[in-house]
Structure 1
């Protein structure tokens, strides 16, 4: 909608990211929310597969930075159409994809029962089964798949797209397990090419990131033939994973990096000057507001989870330094005033 509304102002391809609340009609349960935050990354106005490669790289970088071990599952809607065409039911592609998307959750026999209920015959399922059971690395799966759906022009185009994307991912050395999963369909039927889904390896929850290529989504707003590709990170589920795995740093509960103890009038003034210099350097600092007993000031820092306490007493004033106490280890070091920001910024 945004691209269509501003079509005369934007230079394509248009790249954007956005973080916003979204809603869906769903029965709330663990990991499924009616309202949740989504972090979207999209490129609109280009059919280049380099954008898919960039999105894979973004996934790798994001989850490496967060410390979450994940696997990225990929498929292609063209391949899914090729499979449906090969088993003689191109007209039932939606029914087939909806059923096989449940393969991991309900198993092959239940997928078979659902497809028979939706109008497929036993012969068609017998042709589908070996495709869903393909094993090996991504390259071998694509080779076997090409042999199975080679008569489908659309399906083979999907195979070649996946060869290109996965080939770049491998040659660039992107550090992320990527698996070609032929049962992956994703529920949104506007996808037309590559589709993505990210699963956490160490925590049981649904997908925490997903997306794909959409060739004509702008068409519903009157701007046809404008391809795009994007992924969405589920912020709430990612938060659940990080909480469950204990990945949030302990000091995250407190933004303050250092507390200056208040030890007297002259010491207070010197501490305020150092405090302002730290803030200028982008380091969150504060000073205890009263000249209370040292025990009380230390207890305050401890309860707040402030990692460092800076002591500027008469001795430190005379030497132009600060005694810096690490509240986690109890270690104390003497630091020159002009070096304090560099020390705390580590």
Structure 2
């Protein structure tokens, strides 16, 4: 029997060092969200299964973690569960087996919240949410089964200024984190609808967007095969291939798009949306990308995808878009919205690879009080409590009369910048020795001035 402990595949433990780095990312994002007037919100880890299913497209629905019903502890319930399991094997959902699921993202639960509380909310309603989500995906670099999302959404407004603000929020966050080489790619789902109409394949819009959305993972040849398998003709596939081959500057891409699919109503509306975003984000790393599809069915307008710097093999580190009737899925129509999400775990991996985390993040304890004996340790303990009241993080070495070298080694391993030494002589003369462990510089500080010393160094 193997008793070696483990954790589920696609999940992780986080050490103190990792948590501090993650908190650096989270606090940066939170600060920028609140700078733009967003308020915090949290929703449950689990949702009713019917809330989630059918909202993410065929591929997304397959990745939802379903939760088995509790109470499977008697023969009657076990029989129900068996019957439910047989339905699941047939590709059907069964309330006998599962009625709830872990949330796949933060957007659908947010839409559910708005639908439930729309009579109490002041619109436009601006919220941000930082919580874990779960997906039954295949774990790989930058892709986990449990991960943290940071979302911000505005609902109750059609204004494209909100869309432009989200592009600026991405720029502000990434600039503060040092990711100046990021790229924010934008498109409009209206343009994808126009493409489907120009191909005479409006009934195949979902198939087209789903296939195009895979271009960063598979080749154009495989995308063409998938489109053919979905029932598109050779001429339709050929037009789609020309569409995804559009290249050049942002303005050149727009010109090529119009030349290819003409001035179908959706084309004009989508192009106008993109031009407005570009107008308000001059000088930012905005790239028009007509291959961007964001394979979630609820997007209706501008869509975003943030890419890591090209020097890092990571891909998307954020994304989002406009959804003008998301709450209609829950019986409350005509509440427009737009939102974005930051991929915290991927951003962490990018910052780590590029060595962009600030060096001082790992400093928690500022001063280690050496334990010089029972009497000296007790005296140091009282001084330490006074320092803590003054906001100075400190700790006392745990063993009395340990060798000085051992205590220095402990401080070094924990990246503690200062050592405080109080022996019998120091007690008698009301001072202590304070050593800067990085420079080797040593100071004599009277007890009354110790808090001032640390607050100024």
- TM above 0.5, yes or no, is yes
State which of 14, 17, 22 in structure 1 corresponds to 2:125: 14
What is the aligned partner in structure 2 of residue 126 from structure 1? 238
Once the two structures are superposed, residues 171-212 of structure 1 have per-residue CA deviations (whole angstroms, 9 ceiling, x without a partner) of xx44xx221111110111100111111222232234221111
Q: CA deviation at 1:148?
A: 3.3
Tell whether 2:300 aligns with 1:192.
yes
Distance 1:53 1:284 in 2: 42
Distance 1:72 1:183 in 2: 13
Moved more, 240-249 or 134-143: 240-249
Please list, as runs of the form range in 1=range in 2, the aligned pairs for 1:13-32 lying within 5 A after superposition: 13-32=124-143
What TM-score results when the alignment is normalised by the length of structure 1?
0.84
Aligned length: 338
Distance 1:308 1:146 in 2: 65
Name stretches of at least 5 consecutive residues in structure 2 with no aligned partner. Answer: 1-111
What is the aligned partner in structure 2 of residue 309 from structure 1? 419
Partners of 1:53 and 1:165 within 8 A in 2: yes
What is the aligned partner in structure 2 of residue 103 from structure 1? 215
Q: CA deviation at 1:166?
A: 1.6
Once the two structures are superposed, residues 85-117 of structure 1 have per-residue CA deviations (whole angstroms, 9 ceiling, x without a partner) of 223222221111111222233232332232233
Please list, as runs of the form range in 1=range in 2, the aligned pairs for 1:1-346 lying within 5 A after superposition: 1-68=112-179, 69-170=181-282, 173-174=283-284, 177-201=285-309, 202-248=311-357, 252-253=361-362, 255-262=364-371, 269=379, 272-273=382-383, 276-277=386-387, 279-281=389-391, 283-289=392-398, 290=400, 292-311=402-421, 323-325=434-436, 327-332=437-442, 337=450, 339-344=452-457
The alpha-carbon distance between structure 1 residues 276 and 12, as it changes in their structure 2 partners (threshold 3 A), is farther
* Partner SS, residue 228 of structure 2: helix
Distance 1:255 1:52 in 2: 39
Q: CA deviation at 1:134?
A: 2.0
Once the two structures are superposed, residues 136-185 of structure 1 have per-residue CA deviations (whole angstroms, 9 ceiling, x without a partner) of 22232223323433421112111111111121111xx44xx221111110
The alpha-carbon distance between structure 1 residues 223 and 300, as it changes in their structure 2 partners (threshold 3 A), is same
* Partner SS, residue 299 of structure 1: helix
* Partner SS, residue 208 of structure 1: strand
* Partner SS, residue 243 of structure 2: helix
The alpha-carbon distance between structure 1 residues 317 and 115, as it changes in their structure 2 partners (threshold 3 A), is farther
* Partner SS, residue 301 of structure 1: helix
Partners of 2:420 and 2:432 within 8 A in 1: no
Distance 2:272 2:443 in 1: 61
Once the two structures are superposed, residues 308-331 of structure 1 have per-residue CA deviations (whole angstroms, 9 ceiling, x without a partner) of 334567679969786340x33434
The alpha-carbon distance between structure 1 residues 131 and 261, as it changes in their structure 2 partners (threshold 3 A), is same
Distance 1:81 1:118 in 2: 17
What TM-score results when the alignment is normalised by the length of structure 2?
0.65
The alpha-carbon distance between structure 1 residues 178 and 274, as it changes in their structure 2 partners (threshold 3 A), is same
Distance 1:316 1:146 in 2: 83
* Partner SS, residue 269 of structure 2: helix
Distance 1:125 1:84 in 2: 11
Distance 2:360 2:372 in 1: 25
Partners of 1:279 and 1:285 within 8 A in 2: no
Partners of 2:369 and 2:397 within 8 A in 1: yes
* Partner SS, residue 139 of structure 2: coil
Name stretches of at least 5 consecutive residues in structure 1 with no aligned partner. Answer: none
Distance 2:353 2:372 in 1: 42
Distance 2:122 2:140 in 1: 42
* Partner SS, residue 167 of structure 1: helix
Q: CA deviation at 1:252?
A: 4.4
Partners of 1:275 and 1:286 within 8 A in 2: no
